[in-house]
Amino acid sequence: MNQLKKLLIIGSVWPEPNSSAAGSRMLQLISLFKEEGFGITLASPATDSDFMFDLEEIDVVKKTIVLNCSSFDAFVKELDPSIVLFDRFMMEEQFGWRVSENCPDALRLLDTEDLHCLRLARQKAFKEKRQFKIADLLMEEVAKREIASLLRCDLSLMISEYEMELLTDTFKIDSCLLFYLPFLLEPLTNADLDLLPSFEERKNFVFIGNFLHEPNWNAVQYLKETMWSKIKKQLPEAVLNVYGAYPSQKVLQLNNVKEGFLIRGRAANANEVVEQARVVLAPLRFGAGIKGKLLEAMYCGTPSVTTTIGAESMHGNLDWNGFISDDVEAFAKHAVQLYQVEALWLKAQENGIEIINHRYLKRLFDADFKEKIKYLQANLEQHRLNNFMGSLLQHHTLKSTKYMSMWIEGKNKV
C-alpha cells in the first residue's frame, strides 16, 4: 500500500463504544481516515476485553504492542506509516520518541479526548473543598507532561472550545497546533423524533457513565447522598436507573429498591435505555472535555439536568436541552419540572436537536479536517520549523525518555 495512505493509531485501550464516549470517538476518527482511503492499524499495550469493538469488522488491523520494548521499533519501521495518531498524551509519552526516531517524516497527531490536567486539577480542588483557579493548572504536574506532549505533536485534536482557549491563553500554545474536532454526528430531523418514544411513553430518570471515570462515580454518590431524596419526595413513584460499565463493589452497594435508586450496571444498548427515560440526571462536579452522555441524551430526545461543568463547551449560545444548575435545591426542582410538564419537556427536546444540528454535525468539520491533514503533510518541514519549542522538547525527550526506556527494558531482561 502507498505509504501516504497508512495510518497507525496507538491507543491507550481498545475501543469500547458501548462502554464510553471515548470508544465512539475513536470509531468516528477511524471513519474519517477510512473515507480518505487510509489503511489503518490500531496498536495498543492494553489487554483484550470482552467488550472491545471487533476491528476486523471495519477492516482495521489490530496489533498488540509492549511498553518499554524495542520490538515496537521494528514493528513501526516496517509498517512505515505516514500518519501516527496517539490516543491521549500518555501514549505519546511512551511511544512518541520511538515514532520520531524510526519514522521521522510521519505526521504526529494527538487526540486529547479532554485535558487531563484540567480534570485532575478540578478534582483536586473539589476534594480539598476549595474553588478551582486557573493558577491550579500551572502547578499541576500532569500539566507539564501534557503540554509537553501537545508541543511535540504536529497537531492536537480538541473536543472542547473552552480547553482550546485555555491552551492558547494560559499555556500560550500556538493555535496552528490545535484543531477543534468535537463528536461527529448525523443530523436529527422531525421524522427521527417521531420514531422516538413520546413524553407519555417514557418514565423514570437515568444516569449513565463509565465507572472507571472518577467524575461519574462522584456524581452517582452525590445523587444517592444528596439529590435523589429531594426528587423522590415529590415524585414517589419515580425510579432512578443508574447504568455504567465497570461498576465497582462500592457502586453496587448503592442499590436500594425501596428508595427507587437502582444500580443496573452495564447497558447492553445505551441508546435504548436513554430513549426509555424521561429525564437524564448528570450532576457532575468536576471533569473536562464535553460529555458524551449528555450528547447521547440529546440524540435520544431525552432532556437533561446537569451542572455548569457538565454543560461546559457543549451548547455555545444555544439554550440547553433542559436545565443547568449547581444548586442542589434548584437541580431537584428542575428535574421534577421536566418530568411533570410536557410543554417544558418538549421545548427542552427541541433545544437538544438544535444543539446537535448546529454544533455536532459531521459535515461541519470533516472537510476542513481532511484539508488540514493534507496541508500539514505537504508542509510538514516548515510547520515543524515554526514550532521551535516542540523541536526542543522532542530533542530532550528523545534523549531522556529513550535511555529511561532502555534501562527498564534491560532491567526486565535480567
Domains and CATH numbers, the chain: 3-184+362-413 (3.40.50.2000), 190-359 (3.40.50.2000)
For 182-229, what is each residue's pLDDT tens digit? 999 999 988 888 899 999 999 999 999 999 999 999 999 999 999 999
Residue 1 has pLDDT above 50, yes or no: no
Chain length of the chain: 414
Residue 2 has pLDDT above 60, yes or no: no
User: Looking at residue 404, what is its pLDDT?
Assistant: 66
Residue 400 has pLDDT above 90, yes or no: no
Residue 370 has pLDDT above 50, yes or no: yes
Residue 378 has pLDDT above 80, yes or no: yes
What is the phi/psi pair of residue 377, to 5°? -65, -35
- Residue percentage of the chain with pLDDT more than 90: 86
**Taking residues 59-73, what's their average pLDDT?**
94
Tell me the pLDDT of the chain averaged across its residues.
93
Residue 18 has pLDDT above 90, yes or no: no
User: Looking at residue 414, what is its pLDDT?
Assistant: 58
**Taking residues 47-54, what's their average pLDDT?**
93
User: Looking at residue 124, what is its pLDDT?
Assistant: 95
Residue pair 305/331 in contact by the 8 Å Cβ criterion? yes
What is the phi/psi pair of residue 320, to 5°? -70, 155
- Residue percentage of the chain with pLDDT more than 70: 94
For 229-270, what is each residue's pLDDT tens digit? 999 999 999 999 999 999 999 999 999 999 999 999 999 999
Find where cell 500551572 sits: 138
Residue 319 has pLDDT above 90, yes or no: yes
User: Looking at residue 401, what is its pLDDT?
Assistant: 66
User: Looking at residue 4, what is its pLDDT?
Assistant: 63
Query: Which sign, positive or negative, has the C-alpha torsion 273, 274, 279, 284?
Result: positive
d(C-alpha 58, C-alpha 81), whole Å: 19
Chain centroid to Cα 79, Å, comes to 28
Chain centroid to Cα 337, Å, comes to 30
User: Looking at residue 260, what is its pLDDT?
Assistant: 97
DSSP state of 237: T
Strand order in the sheet with 279-282: 261-265, 240-243, 205-208, 279-282, 304-306, 322-324
Q: What H or E segment, with its residue span, contains residue 205?
A: strand 205-208
For 124-172, what is each residue's pLDDT tens digit? 999 999 999 999 998 889 999 999 999 999 999 999 999 999 999 999 9
**Taking residues 19-43, what's their average pLDDT?**
95
Residue 265 backbone zone (phi > 0: left; psi -120 to 50: alpha; other: beta): left
